[in-house]
Amino acid sequence: MSVRVLNPNAEVLNKSAALHMTINAAKGLQDVLKSNLGPKGTIKMLVGGSGDIKLTKDGNTLLKEMQIQNPTAIMIARTAVAQDDISGDGTTSTVIFIGELMKQSERCIDEGMHPRVLVDGFEIAKRATLQFLENFKTPVVMGDEADKEILKMVARTTLRTKLYEGLADQLTDIVVNSVLCIRKPEEAIDLFMVEIMHMRHNFDVDTRLVEGLVLDHGSRHPDMKRRAENCHILTCNVSLEYEKSEINAGFFYSNAEQREAMVTAERRSVDERVKKIIELKKKVCGDNDNFVIINQKGIDPPSLDLLAREGIVALRRAKRRNMERLVLACGGEAVNSVDDLTPESLGWAGLVYEHVLGEEKYTFVEQVRNPNSCTILIKGPNDHTIAQIKDAVRDGLRSVKNTIEDECVVLGAGAFEVAARQHLINEVKKTVQGRAQLGVEAFANALLVVPKTLAENAGLDTQDVIISLTSEHDKGNVVGLNLQDGEPIDPQLAGIFDNYSVKRQLINAGPVIASQLLLVDEVIRAGRNMRKPTA
Amino acid sequence: MVGMSMQPYGIQSMLKEGYRHLSGLDEAVIKNIEACKELSTITRTSLGPNGMNKMVINHLDKLFVTSDAGTIVNELEIQHPAAKLLVLAAKAQQEEIGDGANLVISFAGELLQNAEELIRMGLHPSEIISGYTKAINKTVEILEQLVESGSQTMDVRNKDEVISRMRAAVASKQFGQEEIICSLVADACIQVCPKNPTNFNVDNVRVAKLLGGGLHNSCIVRGMVMKSDAVGSIKRMEKAKVAVFAGGVDTNATETKGTVLIHSAEQLENYAKTEEAKVEELIKAVAESGAKVIVSGGSIGEMALHFCERYKIMVLKISSKFELRRFCRTAGAVAHLKLSRPSPDDLGYVDSISVEEIGGVTVTIARNEEGGNSISTVVLRGSTDSILDDLERAVDDGVNTYKAMCRDSRIVPGAAATEIELAQRLKEYANAEIGLDKYAISKYAESFEFVPKTLADNSGLNAMEIIAALYTGHGSGNAKLGIDLEEGACKDVSETKVWDLFATKLFALKYASDAACTVLRVDQIIMAKPAGGPRRDAAAAAGAGAEED
């Protein structure tokens, strides 16, 4: 470089150096995430800047927390995060699939192949695999009555890769039931209608599904009931506190009586609103009934006092999203003004009670009639357990939702990958002309990374496993890997199913990003060192 | 641009500067185990009645002298992530039961130490985890069989029964003084125990620490003890009705800013008079309702105080909202927000309320011997602050144990009898097991031995002899054989009356195994750069300097 074209501090990587950097980065990232895959994967411990602990097996969480700097690794990580956004699962698979594609390409390139040819092969192979997936998937009918068994199997497959077995199996039922609970015919499933609440209490296996709602605050008055049965529930968004006027106003008075009058006048409008609610309470409540107000706005102490004297339980400053869920769970409607209160706008719950844990208060609204919203109450002895379960539950919910929407599933335990590979090698490769064949082959071999890694994490011999799996497939049996003993099993019998959309997204996104990376022949970073950011 | 072709390979190159990445058996698992072992060696010597005290000086230079593991690990500010997992487990135990934190840490440490041996033998951590999981499930099963028959039901108002269950927990903190403390705590708890004992609230037993005197001067007050003086000059009132105002005793003010409009000097004079009249009217109304004591949650105006004195009303100020609520419970009063005439139902009642001086501290004591009172206070006396703090922790443990027994009154033999029995039965179970789990289960069983070993060690006895004697006894069918630390021999616990609560033991063992398994499951650690780097280094350097002193 006799003539400097660039900023003297800029760093340039070109030709094979650039390619190797990207390949190395992809392989490095693969190495990190590899041990996460599958039910036998291990846990990573992430320690934050302030010493807080996070334990995770979820690729997505890991990528988010790791703060990767390498440009290639960032690109791959973004694809993986996109995978999570779209399908809620399969981040680890995406990363290791891309890594493996790069690894296979490296071999070919070292032998003198041009990346462009490989990329062409990838494209052909990708299309063929997607077509194969369409034939390979197992359709499930999701009519009005969803097939619970299939949903459970899918949820279990997902959850077991995130948590240990016993807990995963328990969460399976919770996750499936909660999705079925909020499912409405003819409408897309809105997973936000499942509230996820956590309590630091008892053990992780005490996690349960509450058909109703759990709010993370309690009533603010010492004399209100802690437990009420047969409750009419008023969901409202009405301010029950004195609000100062926007303009700068002041009172003028010249004796104490006048001031007293001002004090009462100030409160009158608020008191009137409270009285209207009390009237409604008196109208609807018999001797055994109770009345609960859940307000999105505030309720000030004097109003609370008035309500408490009438035996009304009042909760203030509820979250907006909970107002929506409350209406779905208890019925009735959310009112925005107390002027048009009718008994019809009230919801109903069999039991409302408060649970106190140290400083925190929780209010349970349970025994509702037709819940269209529910709460998954996560319990665990410490924050990292809770965070782990929370991530898993979210993925579990997504997998159930995906299944209902896809109306089909794919056989898991590596069965699909092995079958797709056989298809590519035996059928597709022959139809391709010229050197692109090698690209197809590289793609096919890269698919095997999933069963390989599963075996590796379970402490099995990778080669043995692959050979026994492929030979079974050659015989025409679709089999997956049994992680307990390393023998082939029928995933259908074992109940191991993956999401169709996850696999589709994986096959779509992986090769695209790999191709892009392969076609990079120059990396320029202006001004800063690529490895050591200038301190 | 020289080293460009030699791109570093692997994860480390991809992370931000300052991040650390540890992985694999040697780097992560073994290191983690070592850190946990260190932690458990610290707490272990504090286990049991003869446990040693620790002197911990925390970052605020506050001194703690205690053998309570919960406090020790809280103040130690553990940094190592794996050791922190144990601390979290101990905290969970502390929150859930309030006792047994030491057992959690020591047992988890022991489990991990044994796991290390297994790893060195060549077992994979996942096999150890599956073995340990099987073992804890079996342990729970056995533990349920060991429950003393007839202990499922108890009368939570019978002092003797309560004390028998509380003694071991209190004795492990204050050996030799457990009789006095147990009796105090049991009295206090029984007094405030609600109709349905499961609703027992720990908050209803208060502790007032007053310097001076000795433990023998400690007593129970059925009511509240507040470390404050009365506001006015009236310091004593008997059989009085009480009005409680949460918002303060003063003239009413508007939320919006008010201005007094005055045109002439006459008006100014009149204004002050109307003000006065208004306050007098209010105080008079209170006095007429029969209240002789006013308790205020906010400020008390000079003028209001003047009229209170005139109407012979005693005035108290309690600024803490929670304290005020407790007072309401003591007196059975309903708090009013504003100064107004209280209705007769809202008035509370106290037998006596008086300002007294104990050991140089002015305290206000409100007593209420009648029913309806739900607060009792243990007045602790001791010669130094740290002794008082330690006594308080013992009382807290006692109260928590009471709460636990209200929910689940089952007991198991204490004094290491349960542990040895568990160890023995688990070993049998391990022998029957086939496969690699066997090793992990038998190590799990062995881990229980640390309890008698530590108890004996801490008391200066020969641990090996004791354990051997215990095994012999248990082998011949005496499942209740424990250590008698005073005589240094093995004795049936039904004689020595050392019982542990089933719930405490169950939770402690479960939390410990959970924590140990979690530590074993981790094979990679990614650590971010600690926030605020240089400041921490300076603090550490200062800390190191302090240690040398």
Tell me, what's the pLDDT at B108?
Answer: 87
For A53-121, give the secondary structure using H, E and C. Answer: EEEECCHHHHHHHHCECCHHHHHHHHHHHHHHHHHCCCHHHHHHHHHHHHHHHHHHHHCCCCHHHHHHH
Q: Do A67 and B257 touch (CB under 8 A)?
A: no
Residue that is written with structure tokens 């590796």 in the block? A456
> pLDDT category, B13, cuts 50, 70, 90?
low
Q: Is A350 on the interface with B (CB under 8 A)?
A: no
Q: Which residue of B has its CA nearest to A252?
A: B259
Query: Is A28–B17 a contact, with Cβ atoms under 8 angstroms apart?
Result: no
Q: Mean pLDDT throughout A502-507?
A: 83
Beta bridge partners of A209: A376
Render pLDDT for B345-367 as a digit per residue (tens, 0 to 9): 778 888 888 888 887 788 888 88
Are the CB atoms for B351 and B367 separated by under 8 Å?
A: yes
Give mean pLDDT, residues A237-266.
Answer: 78
Q: How confident is the model at residue B488, as a pLDDT?
A: 74
Band of pLDDT at residue B70, cut at 50, 70 and 90: confident
- Concerning whether A474 is annotated as a catalytic residue, the answer is no
Is the Cβ of A8 closer than 8 Å to some Cβ of chain B?
no
Q: What is the pLDDT of residue B536?
A: 45
Q: Which of A22, A56, A61, A92 is flagged as catalytic?
A: A92
Residues 6+ apart with CB under 8 A from B176: none
Predicted pLDDT of residue B539:
43
CA distance B357 to chain A (A): 32
Closest-CA distance, B200 to chain A, in angstroms, reads 12
Residue A177 is encoded by which pair of tokens?
A: 């039931």
Q: How many helices (H) and strands (E) does chain B have?
A: 19, 18
Model pLDDT, residue B546: 39
Q: What is the per-residue pLDDT for B544?
A: 40
- Residue of chain B minimizing CA distance to A300: B337
In the structure, how many helices (H) and strands (E) does chain A have? 18, 19
Cβ B514–A203 below 8 Å, yes or no? yes
Residues of A in contact with B270 (CB under 8 A): 255
What pairing do the DSSP bridges indicate for beta strands A194-200 and A374-380? parallel
Report the residue of chain A nearest B257, measured CA to CA. Answer: A250
- Residue from the list B255, B259, B267 with its beta carbon closest to the beta carbon of A252: B259
- Write down the pLDDT at residue B224: 83
pLDDT tens digit string along B193-232?
777 777 777 778 888 888 877 777 888 888 888 888 888 7
Which residue of A106, A259, A360 to mutate against B (max B Cβ within 10 Å)?
A259
Q: Please, what sign has the CA dihedral across residues A161, A164, A169, A173? A: negative
Residues of A in Cβ contact (< 8 Å) with B13 = 28, 70, 531
Given CB atoms, is A200 within the 8 Å cutoff of chain B? yes
Instruction: Give me the sign of the Cα torsion angle B144, B148, B151, B156.
Output: negative
Average pLDDT for B171-194: 79
Which residues numbered 18-47 in B keep a CB inside 8 Å of some CB on A? 19, 28
B96–A31 CB contact, under 8 Å: no
List CB contacts (< 8 A) between B259 and chain A.
Answer: 250-253
Residues facing B352 on adjacent strands: B238, B367
pLDDT tier, B7 (very low <50, low <70, confident <90, very high otherwise)? very low
Identity of the residue in B10, B252, B510 whose CB atom sits nearest the CB atom of A203: B510
Report the share of chain B in percent with pLDDT over 90.
0
Do the chains contact at A44 and B15, CB–CB below 8 Å? no
pLDDT band of residue B538 (cuts 50, 70, 90) is very low
User: Is A92 marked active-site?
Assistant: yes
Question: Is A58 designated active site?
Answer: yes
- Which one from A56, A61, A72, A91 is the annotated catalytic residue? A91
Nearest to B89 among A48, A51, A382 (CB): A382
| Position B428 pLDDT exceeds 80 | yes
Closest CA to A421 of A460, A485, A471: A471
Q: How many CB pairs under 8 A join A and B?
A: 195
Summary mean pLDDT of chain B = 79
Instruction: Give the Cα separation of B500 and B397 in Å (integer).
Output: 13
pLDDT per residue over A287-307, tens digit each?
Answer: 778 888 888 888 888 888 888
Q: Quickly list H helices, B366-408.
A: 385-407
Answer yes or no: A84 catalytic. Answer: no
- Asked if B256 lies within 8 A of A35 by C-beta distance, the reply is no
Tell me which of A23, A255, A379, A389 to substitute to probe the interface with B (most B C-beta atoms closer than 10 Å).
A255
CB under 8 Å to A195, separation ≥6 — which residues? A213, A214, A321, A322, A325, A373, A374, A375, A376
Mean pLDDT over the full length of chain A? 79
Residues in chain A: 535
Q: A376-385, A487-496, B132-141, B247-256 — which one is most confidently predicted on average?
A: B132-141
* pLDDT-derived band at B2, boundaries 50, 70, 90: very low
What pLDDT sits at residue B532?
A: 57
* B257, B277, B526 member nearest A66 (Cβ): B526
* B 453-512 near A (Cβ less than 8 A): 510-511
DSSP annotation of A146 reads B
Instruction: Give the containing element (helix H, strand E) for B413.
Output: strand B411-413
Q: Does B539 touch chain A (CB under 8 A)?
A: no
- State pLDDT tens for residues A95-142: 888 888 888 888 888 887 788 888 888 888 888 888 888 888 777 776
Cα torsion B128, B130, B132, B135 to 10°: value is -140
d(CA B135, CA B130): 9
In a mutagenesis test of the A interface, which of B1, B2, B13, B513 is the best target, namely the one with the most A β-carbons within 10 Å? B13
| A458-491 residue pLDDT tens | 777 888 888 888 888 778 777 777 777 777 788 7
Q: B124 to chain A: which residues are within 8 Å by CB?
A: 459
Residues of A in contact with B529 (CB under 8 A): 49
C-alpha to C-alpha distances, B116 to B22, B29, B44, B427, B516, nearest whole angstrom: 18, 9, 18, 19, 11
Looking at chain A, which residue has its C-alpha nearest residue B321? A222
**A307 min Cα distance to partner chain B (Å):** 13
B window 380-439, beta carbon within 8 A of A: none
Total Cβ atoms within 10 A of residue B383: 12
Distance from CA of B360 to the nearest CA of A (A): 33
Tokens, residue A20: 């190797």
Chain B environment of A459 (Cβ under 8 Å): 124, 126
Closest residue in A to B338 (Cα) is A302
